[in-house]
Amino acid sequence: MKKLFNMLLLPAIVAVSSCGLDNYDAPESKILGRVVYNGEPVGVRGTGEAVQLQLYQDGYELGSPIPVYVAQDGSFEALVFDGEYKLVTRDNNGPWVNDRDTTVVNVKGTANVDIEVTPFYTLSNVQLSLSGNTANASFQVNEVAGGRDIEYVMILVGKTSFVDDVSYTARVDINEVAAGSTVTGSIDLANNADFQSGKALYARVGLRPVGKDQAIYSQVVKLR
């Protein structure tokens, strides 16, 4: 019971309360990892704990999964006790094929693991730049899994390094995008108060497949 009892009572792995659990040690070991495709990290929405993995440990009465939240650069981290765990993607969550293969992770101190997924699309040759009051974007759309149309692509800029479809300063959506095409677009920031304040500016692009709860994103780039 010492293994996961205190964590399973909490919504996040890293949050360990002292109330009523003083007889249990806090976890000190780590699972460090990335969600990847062909060895490259997959960009996702990082705010709102939108994309999750699920961690299980067999042999304990409280068998509910522990949520592991994926950061916008595709990385994740979980504090655990030493032992053997099973890690899977959350059901119907993320811009990839819903293949919930189990990854077994043996933890003794620190364990590093990549979770391989198959996205419906990837974004490559991403170019993001700032010219005067205009943020410019160019990128290639590549079909991987197939079977789903593209709902839209996005060009996003933000005043912090956390940029996604709910956290942005300015956004442009482009519809009717075909797989294999090169997308170009821009955002006029001349009347944007956050931009005119002269503070830092970040950007990324994203693509939302039809019928999926999340978009796939490029990595965040600092424009200013």
Cα dihedral across residues 163, 169, 174, 180: positive or negative: negative
Using DSSP bridges, classify how beta strands 134-143 and 150-158 pair: parallel, antiparallel or unpaired: unpaired
Q: Per residue in 24-76, pLDDT tens?
A: 678 889 999 999 999 999 999 999 999 999 999 876 555 688 999 999 999 99
Radius of gyration of the chain (CA): 20
- pLDDT band for position 198 (50/70/90)? confident
Q: Does domain 5-116 match CATH 2.60.40.1120? A: yes
- pLDDT band for position 7 (50/70/90)? very low
> For 127, phi and psi rounded to 5 degrees?
-125, 120
pLDDT at 200 over 80: yes
Q: Where are the domains of the chain?
A: 5-116, 121-222
Q: Which CATH class is domain 121-222?
A: mainly beta
Give the pLDDT score at 100: 87
